[in-house]
Amino acid sequence: MLPVIALVGRPNVGKSTLFNQLTRSRDALVANYSGLTRDRKYGEGRIGTRPFVVIDTGGISGDESGIDSRMAGQSLAAIEEADAVLMLVDAREGLNPADVSLARHLRQRNKAFHLVVNKIDGVNEDIATSDFYALGIESMYAIAASHGRGIKAMIDDLLLAFPDTEESDEDEGPRSTRVAVVGRPNVGKSTLVNRLLGEERVVVFDQPGTTRDSIYIDYERNETRYTLIDTAGVRRRKNVRETVEKFSIVKTLKAIDDAHVVVLVMDAQEGLVDQDMHLLGHCIEAGRGLVLAVNKWDGIEAEQRNHIKTELKRRLQFAEFADTHFISALHGTGVGHLYKSIDAAYQSATRKLSTNALTRILEGAVHDHQPPMINGRRIKMRYAHAGGQNPPLIVVHGNQTGKVSASYQRYLEKVFRRELKLEGTPLRIEFRTGDNPYAEKRENMTQRQIVRKRQLAAHSGKDKSKGKRRDK
């Protein structure tokens, strides 16, 4: 097992900056904004050949209430999971009562922890660290996380307490199915994530914008590996004013691109709104497998349920390939059925398609319904083959394929989807027109004809001039 290191401390002491340095990524949102991190985030770090797991957490101030108390709960859970804890403090602000309280808690939990005095850039290191000796912590490191100063020496020293972990070159088994849970703010995404996991893994609070970052969570269910991605809510662009929210939306859109399957969560109490349609269009454009989850279904009347079902059927005809589930994430109603649709969408999106099977389906479709005539010539489709996965891409070769109408393309998509039994995934068809093998020959013939005409014209002129000389 890899060593697990948790980063804890007051808000805005640089935990996410250190997390990004250790993982060599930009996975954690970083801004000069107190309380930006709310859920615990996992990443894999590496110093030399030594890998380890690092956990970023929200800030603990000691006087949490409301949503801050939920954030503190996430930090305390990370402490329990960790093999070692790095307690960060701010060198520029000096010792704070919250630092004293956190150090006392770590001692009570009998956790191995080390004091990390961050932000020593631009200040005298001896003066900056002297204030923190009052905590009585023997192991102390002075670093500047934003510049990477002192980090390698600190982790090298920290890992000496753990056995050297040798990496295995063996295949770790099938890859996990990445599932992104997306939707507007406050539709119940984090509640659904916790329900799917069976534990309070992410912060849930009755407040829009609770989740600010995309949280990747690996787990296993019925011997199938999944990576669940909880994302920030996406509002209409005109309503987005805070810089932090703009970055959150970018992380959500990236999570959609990273996912194999997207679960789009909608609010039954508010009905289908335009922003739901915009998000749905983005998911289809990204080509990801799709499952629709209408949440808070248990809190509405029968008449409103019928209205919502009618609206979904009318407005989502372009996404009829996606399964729709009516659920209650809070009470768990219908949530378990999501896995069947997620697995079906993933298998359809990543299935290997043979050229022979695709060509037979194409021939059958053309036999049943011929493509239209273009300038008196029939469009010819010769064969098809697979061009990619997630989404499935089918490449059709033939003549004049660039002139295939949109309606005929939709007909082919419908036939391929039906015959291949594709569920929950968009399907792309790409048309390619082959080179005409006689084009070069025809061009050469045309050139010879031009030369021949010139020769004939020249001979004709000579004959006329000879006739004039004879007449004289």
* Residues 159-192 pLDDT 10s: 888 877 555 444 455 578 999 998 888 888 888 9
Tell me 404's DSSP state.
-
Sign of the dihedral defined by the CA atoms of residues 350, 356, 362, 365, in that order: negative
pLDDT score of 358: 93
Within a 13 Å sphere around the CA of 396, how many CA atoms are in the beta-carbon half? Answer: 26
pLDDT at 208: 43
State the angle between helix axes of 355-368 and 406-420 in degrees (0 to 180), rounded to the nearest 10: 130
Q: What parts of the chain have a pLDDT lower than 70?
A: 1, 27-40, 61-74, 165-174, 201-214, 233, 235-248, 434-451, 453, 459-472
Pick the closest to residue 40 from 97, 79, 67, 69 (CA basis).
79
Two tokens at 7?
A: 């980063």
Whole-angstrom Cα distance, residue 118 to residue 21? 13
Q: What is the pLDDT of residue 245?
A: 46
Predicted confidence at residue 23, as pLDDT, reads 85
- pLDDT score of 2: 80
Please give the pLDDT value at position 121.
Answer: 87
What is the reported pLDDT for 14?
A: 87
Residues 464, 295: Cα–Cα separation, whole Å = 94
pLDDT for the residue 179? 93
d(Cα 195, Cα 430) in Å, to the nearest integer? Answer: 40
Q: What is the pLDDT of residue 228?
A: 87
Q: pTM higher than 0.75 for the full model?
A: no
Q: How confident is the model at residue 127, as a pLDDT? A: 87
Q: Is the dihedral of CA 69, 75, 78, 84 positive or negative?
A: negative
Cα–Cα distance measured from residue 57 to residue 39, given in angstroms and rounded to the nearest whole number:
6
Q: Residues 6, 79: contact at Cβ < 8 Å? A: yes
pLDDT at 443: 53
pLDDT value, residue 363: 92
Residue pair 5/156 in contact (Cβ under 8 Å)? The answer is no
Is 146 strand, coil or helix? coil
Q: What is the pLDDT of residue 193?
A: 86
How far apart are the C-alpha atoms of 366 and 416, rounded to whole Å?
Answer: 12
Q: Report CA 267 to chain centroid distance, whole Å.
A: 22
- Is residue 283 within 8 Å of residue 256, measured between CB atoms? yes
Tokens for 125, please give them: 């290191």
pLDDT of residue 202: 58
Distance CA 187, CA 296 (A): 8
The H-or-E segment that residue 326 falls in is strand 323-326
